[in-house]
Structure 1
Amino acid sequence: MTEIPGHLRPFVLSPAELEPERTGSIDLYVPDGDGPFPGVVILHGGPLPPDLRPTPRDWPVYRGYGALLASRGLVASVVDHRLYVLQNADGVVLDYPTAAEDVTAAVDAVRADPRVDADRIVVWFFSGGGLLSADWLREPQAWLRGVALTYPALAPLPGWPVDPRFRPVEAVAEAVPRQVPIVLTRVGLEKPEIAETVAGFLAAAEGAGWPVEIVDVPHGQHSFDVLDHTDESREAVQRMVAQVEKLLG
């Protein structure tokens, strides 16, 4: 029997299924009732092969988060951005610049939807997508109510050819117009190279007096929300969603 790949395993919670509205690269999970509703933009990790199928918005984990957030009265958008691993004549390319453009375009599209409260937005980054948060931390708009990070990489990993622009550890150490609140899921069994970036990020944030709320998952591994079907995992996901709700008021 073929083993199910980790990224296609079931979500640790079982919210009521909700079929998203699909437009271009964005899947929108809309609550029942009258809006406008606060919005959460969910951004998958990577870098990923460009031919990987299904794409992240069809993975159980992101469909689960989308349905869960909608059940709490938030519009959730799951974005298939192009954070790809590419090969050219110079070697491997991790296409963070293209992904960053996709993220900006997706956030603009979500805010333009009349069912979304354009002044109450959280952007939520997962895993290797965490590097994309640097832009949003350096230059947060007034409508950005917070940045959420789940088992994130927050500095380029060893051997990753990434532009210095995508270094959240450095972003929180810089003087910025506004310190947007951060919520972060930290797993106790994180991969050492990623755990080091999280520790560096939290140290830099503390040194700058930057507000960070941490949701710890002591026995959780990277991708705990599909790999570790435990009460601890389920409670951590619920706590993280509650923190995102709190940011959105």
Structure 2
Amino acid sequence: MKNLKQEEPEMLQQSGSILDASLRRRSFLQYTGAGAAGIALLAAGCSKDRGFTSTDGVNLGSDDIGILNYAYALEQLEAAFYIQVAATPYTNINAAELAYFKDIQFHEIAHRELFKSALGTSAIPSLEVNFSAINFTSRDSVLATAKAFEDLGVSAYNGAGYLLKSATYLGLAGKIVSVEARHAAFIREIISPNSFSNTEVVDATNALDKSRTPLEVLAIAGAYIKTKINASNLPTS
């Protein structure tokens, strides 16, 4: 997908591509609720295992670093999608829905930037996305994609949380997945009232959100990511 050269919202830093837009520092800390000390704490544990680009694609790494890079990759995808939605609203969008999409845009950017800061030099590079299958002028297309991304994101965190060894990282993931679940519920209600916790996403027997393994998630997300990702070193237990 080509870079989108457009004016960005006031709260975003100017950059070469709208897909790489970042929150201004004050806004970043406001949306993440994380101060410099919290970021430093996360970064301190991330220096030993760096994600890198190889002939097999962008390697997410192993252990906790690999899982954080996995989450970072997904947050890059979601942030890019919502930045595009906010920059080019679908036809006849109403004020309430536009305001919501602008809010969720900042949430996803904040998530992306938090992982990027936490990983430091261990972070994978910016990924190239492919949104050619999405009609951003169509409300139905945008909402269907938002629903798919949010449901996928929740299931991704649910399926990877137990692989984290660090309680700090697990706590961070728990805070983020709860926000993603709020997004998912709201999008579902816009599309179809009372569908926010139907059997598509909640196990009817145990009343638990469904989960997916990293490989299952990346197989689905890969349709929207041009950059090849190597997840071969991720932990599985």
Q: What is the TM-score with the length of structure 1 in the denominator? A: 0.26
Higher strand share: 1
- Pick 1 or 2: higher relative contact order, CA cutoff 8 A, min separation 6: 2
Q: What is the TM-score with the length of structure 2 in the denominator? A: 0.27
Higher helix share: 2
